[in-house]
Structure 1
C-alpha cells in the first residue's frame, strides 16, 4: 500500500508520456528521456519510498534479500521489514548496487552487509545464509525476500527459508508484488507496489499437512497432529477431519481430561456411521474405538464414585475398570517418557502402582482412604491380632522395623498396602520381591525436596514398569490398552 498513490499516478502519466516521445534509435538520450529520468529520480522514486506503508509481521533479527538489476524492490522490502541486520545477497554483476541500497536506507555498514553468492548455484546460497542464520538466536524471527536476482538465487533462498521453518524457527518469506504492471515500460506502476508474505507450501498444501500430521501422530504429539489435520481439512473444504477428532481424543487423554476424550471418541463413532465417512480407513477400527470409549466411561465412573459425596469403592474392585484405569495411566506415562519428561512419567507409574494395590484391597472391601480393619478381618475370616502379626512379619522379611498398629493408621499408603496384602496372602503381591518395592519407595522419598531431591532417572521408571507388570500378571486383569488407532 502506498499513501502517495494518487500523486504518483499523475507523475507516472507524465513520466510515461515523456518516454513515449523518445526515439530508441538515437545515439544520445533525447531531452524528453533526460527529463523522464530526472522526474523518476527526483519525484517518483522519493514519493514511492515515502508513501510505502507496508510492514512485516514480526520484529526480525535479520532479513536476507537477493539483489537483482533493480534495487528499488530491495530498498522497499528492507525498509518495511526493518530488521536488526540486513544481508544483501549479490553476484559480481550486482555488487555495485549494494552501496546504493545501503545509502538509500541510511543505515551503517554494521547493519547492512553484502554477501557475494553464485548466480547459478542454489547450494552456495544455502551455505552462505546458513552460516549467518546459525549465528542468530533460534528464538528470534528471521525474514527472507527473494524478489530480485537470478532464478537460482530466488529458488535457493526460498527453499532454504521454507526448510528453516521445518526446524521450528520463525522464518517468513516476503515478496514485493504490485497491483499494476506497465507492459509498455516493462516495470510496475509506481505506487502500486506492496509487500506480500508467501505462505510455506508445507503449511497450505493438504498432502503435506496430512503427512506432517501423521508424523506428529506417530510421535505422540497429538496436539500438533490435530492442528495439522484441521488445517488440511480446511484447505480441502471438508466439514470434518476424522483424524483430527481422533488426535484430539488422545490429546485429552494425555492430559487426564477423560470426559473430553470420551466425547471425542463418541463423536468419531457417530461420524463413522454417516455416509461420507463410512469408507474411511478408520471404519475398520470401529470396535477398537468403541472399546476405548467404553474404557473411558469406566474410568469416569470410577473417578465420580471416589470423589462424590457418597464415596464408593465398588467400581475400584471391578477388574475391567481397574484395567482401563491402569491403561490410561500407562498411556500418559509412556507419552512423557517418549518426550524425555522422566519425572512426570515416574510420578504416573507410582500412581499406577498405588492404584493397583488399592484395587486389590478393594476386592476385599477395604477403602484405603477410610480403612475399616475390623470389617476387613471379618471379610477374610482372620483376627485383627493375626493380621497385625502377619503384617509385621512381612515387613521384617524386607528388613523394615516394626511400626504402629494397623488400627492406628487412618489412611493406607502404598507401602502399607503392599505388606498388608502380603499378610492377607494376596497372590499378586506375593509374586513381587518385597525389597524391590521398598527400594522404589526409598527412591520416591529421595526425589522429594525435603529428603534431598534426587531427580528420578530412567532406571526408576523401568523398575516401576517391571514391578507393575509382575503385579498385573498375577492380578488376573483383562488385557486392555489405549494403543493409538493406526492411520492409513
Structure 2
C-alpha cells in the first residue's frame, strides 16, 4: 500500500488532465505533455516510491526480477523485498532500463547483478537462475518477482520458483499488483500499487495437496502428510480428514507418544462409523486399525508397569506386549533409516535387542535392573554354583574373559543377559551365534554413544536387524507390525 495515496490521487487527476489536453498529432511534445511528464518525474513517481510501504515476508538472501518495458514495478518490488543480492533478468532490448533501476535503487554493483536471458526460452532462465541459486546456502530464503518481461520470461521464472519449493527451499513469488488500472493511459493509477505474494498452487489447490499428502505418507513423512491433508480439508471447508488423523497417529508413534497415538486411532475408528466417512477407503481396513490400536494399548500397559513407582516386571513376560513394543521400535528405526538418521536407528535397534533379552529373562521372573539370582535358580531348577559354571563356560567359548561372581552384579547389561540366557539353555539365545552378539556389543562400546568415537553405520543397523529377527523367530513371539495402513 501507499501512505501517499490521497495526495497521489490528486496529482494523478492533474496528470491525466494534462495528457488529455496534449495534442497527439504534433511532432514536438506539446506544453501540456511536457508539463505532464515533469509532474510525473518530479512529484508522482518520487511520492510513489516514498509512500510504498509493503515489505517481503522474510529476509531474503537473493531476489530475481524480470525486467520489462517499464522499470517502475521492478524498483518498487526490489525496494520492498530488500534482498541481500538483487538479480535483474533482462533481454537485449531491456538492458538499457537496468541502468535506471540500479541508479534509483542506489545499492551499488556488489549488491545488484544483471543477467541477460532469452525473451522466448524459459529453459534459459532456468539455467541462469539455477546457476546463481546453487551458489547460495541451501537454507537461504529466495524471492522471485516475475512482474515484468515477456510471457515466456514470466512463466519461466514463476515455474522455476514453484519447482524450487518442491526441493524444500524457501522460495516465494511476488509481483506488483494494483487496486486501480487506468485503461485510458494503460498503466496503474499511481499510489494504488501493492506487493502481492503468489501462493504456490501445489500448496493451496486441494487436488495437489491430496496428491502431495499421499506422497509424503508413502515416504513415511507422517508430519508433512498430516499438515497437507489438513490444509486440503481447510481449502474444501471440511471438518475432518480420516487420512490426517491416521497420519497424526503414526507421527505420534514415531516420537514414542504411544498413548496419544492410541487415542488418535480410537478417534479414527469412531469417525469411520459416521456419515459421510463410511465411504472412506479406510473403512475396509478397520480390522487392521483396531489391531494396531490394541497394540498401542499393550505398549502403554507395559511401559506404565515398568515405570511405576512399584515396578512390576510381570508384563515384560507377556509375549503380546513385548511383540508390539518391538514392532514400535522397528517402526521408528525404519523411518529413521529412510531419512538418513542412521545413529538414531542403531540406538533403537540396540534397545530392541536388549528388550528382547530382558523379556526372555522376565519369563523366569528375573529383573535385569534388580537381579535376584537365588530366585532365578529356583525357577530354572538349578543352583547358583552350577549357573555360575555354565555362565563362565559360555563366555569362555566366545573367547571372553571370565567375570566375577554373578551375585556381585547389581545390574545385568546386554552381553551379560545374553550369556546368562545361554547358561540357562534358552532356545532363542542358543539359536544366535555368540560371536555376532559379542561383535554387536563391542561395536556399541566403541561407538560415540559409549566409550569410543566410531560412528554408527548402515551395516551395523542391518546386522542388528538380522540378529534381532533370529531372536524373535526363535522366541515364539506373535508376528505383529505397525505397517502403515494403505490409503486406498
Task: Please report how far the alpha carbon of residue 138 of structure 1 lies from its aligned counterpart in structure 2 after TM superposition.
Answer: 2.1
The separation in 1 between residues aligned to 2:288 and 2:221, in whole angstroms, is 21
The separation in 2 between residues aligned to 1:414 and 1:135, in whole angstroms, is 48
Query: Does 2:318 match 1:318?
Result: yes
The separation in 2 between residues aligned to 1:289 and 1:475, in whole angstroms, is 26
Q: Which residue of 2 aligns with 1:353?
A: 353
Q: Which residue of 2 aligns with 1:142?
A: 142
Q: Which residue of 1 aligns with 2:422?
A: 422
Q: Which residue of 1 aligns with 2:397?
A: 397
* TM-align CA RMSD: 1.4
Q: Which residue of 2 aligns with 1:151?
A: 151
Q: Which residue of 1 aligns with 2:463?
A: 463
Query: Does 2:271 match 1:271?
Result: yes
Aligned in 2, Cα 1:450/1:252: closer, same or farther, shift over 3 Å?
closer
Q: Which residue of 2 aligns with 1:23?
A: 23
Q: Which residue of 1 aligns with 2:235?
A: 235
The separation in 1 between residues aligned to 2:193 and 2:450, in whole angstroms, is 65
Q: Is the 8 Å Cα contact of residues 68 and 94 (structure 2) preserved in structure 1? A: yes
The separation in 1 between residues aligned to 2:450 and 2:57, in whole angstroms, is 48
For 1:217-269, what per-residue CA distance to the aligned partner results, in whole angstroms no more than 9, with x for missing partners? 12211111111111111111111121111111111111111111111111111
Q: Is the 8 Å Cα contact of residues 87 and 113 (structure 2) preserved in structure 1? A: yes
SS at match of 1:74: helix
The separation in 2 between residues aligned to 1:450 and 1:266, in whole angstroms, is 40
Q: Which residue of 1 aligns with 2:200?
A: 200
Is the deviation greater in 295-304 or in 439-448?
A: 439-448
Query: Does 2:9 match 1:9?
Result: yes
The separation in 2 between residues aligned to 1:286 and 1:216, in whole angstroms, is 22
The separation in 1 between residues aligned to 2:457 and 2:106, in whole angstroms, is 56
Q: Which residue of 1 aligns with 2:175?
A: 175
Q: Which residue of 2 aligns with 1:485?
A: 485
Is the deviation greater in 368-377 or in 18-27?
A: 18-27
SS at match of 1:93: coil
Q: Is the 8 Å Cα contact of residues 85 and 112 (structure 2) preserved in structure 1? A: yes
The separation in 1 between residues aligned to 2:374 and 2:114, in whole angstroms, is 86
Match runs of 1:65-80 below 5 Å: 65-80=65-80
Aligned in 2, Cα 1:449/1:144: closer, same or farther, shift over 3 Å?
closer
Task: Please report how far the alpha carbon of residue 2 of structure 1 lies from its aligned counterpart in structure 2 after TM superposition.
Answer: 0.7
Q: Which residue of 1 aligns with 2:300?
A: 300
Normalising to structure 2: TM-score of the pair? 0.97
Is the deviation greater in 440-449 or in 250-259?
A: 440-449
The separation in 1 between residues aligned to 2:326 and 2:161, in whole angstroms, is 45
The separation in 2 between residues aligned to 1:260 and 1:248, in whole angstroms, is 9
The separation in 1 between residues aligned to 2:460 and 2:116, in whole angstroms, is 55
The separation in 2 between residues aligned to 1:24 and 1:406, in whole angstroms, is 108
Size of the aligned set, in residue pairs, is 488
The separation in 1 between residues aligned to 2:238 and 2:476, in whole angstroms, is 45
Q: Which 5+ residue runs of structure 1 have no aligned equivalent?
A: none
Q: Which residue of 1 aligns with 2:387?
A: 387
Aligned in 2, Cα 1:92/1:402: closer, same or farther, shift over 3 Å?
closer
The separation in 1 between residues aligned to 2:343 and 2:190, in whole angstroms, is 61
Query: Does 2:234 match 1:212?
Result: no
The separation in 2 between residues aligned to 1:301 and 1:417, in whole angstroms, is 24
Task: Please report how far the alpha carbon of residue 362 of structure 1 lies from its aligned counterpart in structure 2 after TM superposition.
Answer: 1.1
Is the deviation greater in 20-29 or in 33-42?
A: 20-29
Task: Please report how far the alpha carbon of residue 449 of structure 1 lies from its aligned counterpart in structure 2 after TM superposition.
Answer: 6.2
Task: Please report how far the alpha carbon of residue 450 of structure 1 lies from its aligned counterpart in structure 2 after TM superposition.
Answer: 6.1
Is the deviation greater in 23-32 or in 478-487?
A: 23-32
Task: Please report how far the alpha carbon of residue 448 of structure 1 lies from its aligned counterpart in structure 2 after TM superposition.
Answer: 4.4
For 1:156-205, what per-residue CA distance to the aligned partner results, in whole angstroms no more than 9, with x for missing partners? 11111111111111111111000111122211111110011111111111
SS at match of 2:279: coil
Q: Is the 8 Å Cα contact of residues 444 and 450 (structure 2) preserved in structure 1? A: no
Q: Which residue of 1 aligns with 2:187?
A: 187
Task: Please report how far the alpha carbon of residue 408 of structure 1 lies from its aligned counterpart in structure 2 after TM superposition.
Answer: 2.1
The separation in 2 between residues aligned to 1:98 and 1:137, in whole angstroms, is 27
Q: Which 5+ residue runs of structure 2 have no aligned equivalent?
A: none
